[in-house]
Amino acid sequence: MTTPVALTIAGSDSSGGAGIQADLKTFAALGVYGASAITALTAQNTRGVTGIHAVPADFVTAQIDAVFADLEVGAVKIGMVAQVASIDAIAAALSRWKPGHVVIDPVMVATSGDRLLASEAVDALRTRLMPLASVITPNLPEAAALLDGPIAASGAEIEKQGRRLLALGCRAVLIKGGHGEGAESTDYLIDADNTIALAAPRVATRNTHGTGCSLSSAVAAGLAKGADLESAVRNAKAWITAAIGAADRFSVGRGHGPIHHFHKFY
């Protein structure tokens, strides 16, 4: 039996709730072997980010090449990319190795509000990485930032922004509704042919650290296991909703605590 493998290319979260740590927990929870290439070290906890140390771009390349040279990678998830040089390195590596699925979570701001991506890197993300993506997974503020526009306030506006993001070259867009309002959190999966609204009850908790990282990783895990994109997204949405719902079982940190990746097990 072939073991499904997913690679996360992202930043490290020293508090363990987001970034590489959240991605690897997600892969493990969903039965996928996780590999990693670290783009940056962050000093952070549930209350904020106090430092970022970017990994040199040539070493990002070395990590990616080492993984692909040995492991059968079924899907790649890209999170925090930190700087323009890293984006160039990742784009070159993906073009060289040609993975079957690429999920990009355009991480720009942490849950705490701290900025994680330099403004000059946003354009590089748009033009160099997004055209390589099977799907991108921005939240409402990230979708607006990628388009230099206002935050969408309705389903129609979200779909319009999704169509504009598709025009930048990615094959599909999942715009997450967690930053919206109302009793339900509705995500929109948009591709060239369809728009699918995926609603789930909004969970009342402040423990939401790492939700975006984990959802995109859950999508990548589904793709690595051979699911089609819609199925991977639906399963990821159900899993993340349950992980957020179980987050208050934890008492970790004094800010935005982590979600419960292993809610099915304990």
pLDDT above 80 (res 116): no
Beta-strand runs (E) in 93-145: 102-104, 135-136
Write down the pTM of the prediction. Answer: 0.95
pLDDT tens for 195-249 read 999 988 888 888 889 999 999 999 999 999 999 999 999 999 999 999 999 999 9
Confidence (pLDDT) at 206: 87
Q: Is residue 59 part of a domain?
A: yes
Supply the range of the domain harboring residue 207: 5-249
Residue 179 has a pLDDT of: 61
Alpha-carbon distance of 114 to 98, in angstroms, equals 33
CA torsion 157-161-230-266 (nearest 10°) is -80
Is residue 171 situated within a structural domain?
A: yes
Rounded distance between C-alpha atoms, residue 266 and residue 257, angstroms: 17
Q: Are 157 and 188 in contact (CB under 8 A)?
A: no
Considering the domain boundaries, does residue 109 fall inside one? Answer: yes
pLDDT at residue 180 in the model = 62
Given a cut of 80, whether residue 54 has pLDDT beyond it is yes
Task: Look at residue 175 and tell me if it is in a domain.
Answer: yes
Q: Which of 133, 89, 80 shows the shortest CA–CA distance to 110?
A: 80
Total domain count, the chain: 1
Structure tokens, 232: 């991977």
Residue 139 within a domain: yes
Domain-embedded: residue 260: no
| pLDDT of res. 110 | 65
Write the pLDDT tens digit of every residue in 151-191. Answer: 998 899 999 999 999 999 999 999 998 666 667 889 999 99
Question: What are the catalytic residues?
Answer: 176, 208, 210-213
pLDDT in the model for residue 184:
81
For residue 148, being part of any structural domain is answered with yes
**232: domain CATH number?**
3.40.1190.20
Asked if residue 261 belongs to a domain, the reply is no
